Amino acid sequence: MALKIREFEGPIGAEVLGLEPEKPLAPDELKLLEDTFLRRLVLRFRDAPMTPQSLCGFSRQFGELQPHIAKQYRLPEAPEVVLMINQDANGNFDKVGAERGVGWHSDLAYDWAPARCTFLHAVAIPSRGGNTKFANMYIAWDKMPENLRKRVDGKLASYRNGGRLGLNQGIQKDEDRSKDVVHPVIRVHPETGRKSVYANPYHVVQILGVPRAESDALLDELFAWCEREEFQWQQEWKVADTIMWENRSAWHSGNLDYPLDELRKFYRTTVRGTPTVDRAEAEKLLAAA
Ligand SMILES: [Fe+2]
């Protein structure tokens, strides 16, 4: 086998050496990558340039690709690829584009079947800054103080794009509840069986069955714990890097700390995951909340 693994020091991540993205993975290579991914949550492939089509071909080996819900983000030549770019069509800085992905979250947690994993391939990067941070939510759970654990374990919460922050800032309204979905606060991983913190600051709205103010206070306490640096690792991007990350047991966040007049451009694909709850049952809970 041509692939080699070098695990990063720290709580999350491993480098994969020797990838040839145009070539299908052999069964033993795919198994090695899947096993390492489940254990380390973040894989980095360096010096492996990809076209939108080759990123699709590579990432599809890990599951069914999920096109972005917003058609304007899809690339015409490869509709399953989302263009992540900080400039508009005229080359002007695009604040909305640049702010996508900034703030701790996991992808598609506002969907009933949130993402399994995401692939991000660097096409152009700024001269400094713009790192992506990752945090291991298994360890956040494993090390969590018992008195916090017992207040969040077994709870369900409502989630939406923008979460309670959008609600509390008045950007979203309570009437928007029809778009809410339900996931556990502490999730059992469908493949490893391990528990991790699934709620994230960017998507969670409210712990079901808990009054709003009390839910906010508990979530603030939970997230203050989860944001500890000991759970984190940062990717310093190079052109032609690809990162594959877990969305079921890891958080990630972009950094808007780079020169904003410099181009930052990535291709992204997302592999579909599985629902976390029985939707019909969860919708009854939402209606009662
Ligand atoms: Fe993301």
Rounded Cα distance, 268 and 119, in Å: 5
Cα of 124 to ligand 1 centre, how many Å? 18
- pLDDT of residue 31 exceeding 90, the answer is yes
Distance 32 CA to ligand 1 centre (A): 25
Q: Using the mean position of ligand 1's atoms as its centre, give its distance from the Cα of residue 115 in Å.
A: 10
CA of 174 to the centre of ligand 1 (A): 24
Whole-number Å distance, alpha carbon 147 to ligand 1 midpoint, is 30
User: Over the stretch 202-218, which tens digit does the pLDDT of each residue have?
Assistant: 999 999 999 999 999 99
In the chain, pLDDT over 90 holds for what percent of residues? 80
User: How many whole angstroms from 252 Cα to the centroid of ligand 1?
Assistant: 6
Residue 223 CA to residue 203 CA, distance in Å, equals 12
In angstroms, what is the span from residue 187 Cα to ligand 1's centroid? 18
- The CATH number given to 4-104+112-135+231-271 is 3.60.130.10
The helix (run of H) or strand (run of E) holding residue 68 is none
Q: What is the pLDDT of residues 33-68, one digit of tens each?
A: 999 999 999 999 999 999 999 999 999 999 999 988
Q: Where are the beta strands (DSSP E) in the chain?
A: 4-7, 14-17, 42-45, 74-75, 78-85, 117-124, 132-136, 156-159, 181-184, 186-188, 195-197, 204-207, 232-235, 242-246, 250-254, 265-271
Of the pLDDT bands very low, low, confident and very high (cuts 50, 70, 90), residue 123 is very high
Amino acid present at 229: E
Superfamily for domain range 136-227+279-288: Clavaminate synthase-like (3.60.130.10)
Start-end of CATH 3.60.130.10 domains in the chain: 4-104+112-135+231-271, 136-227+279-288
Position 90 scores a pLDDT of: 86
Those residues whose beta carbon sits under 5 angstroms from the ion ligand 1 are 101, 107
Going from the Cα of 101 to the center of ligand 1, the distance in angstroms, rounded, reads 5
Q: Which of 28, 32, 42, 39 is nearest to 5 (CA)?
A: 32
Distance 2 CA to ligand 1 centre (A): 30
Reduced to 3 DSSP states, what percent helix, strand and coil does the chain have, rounded to the nearest 5?
A: 30, 25, 45
CA of 249 to the centre of ligand 1 (A): 13
- Whole-angstrom Cα distance, residue 282 to residue 176? 17
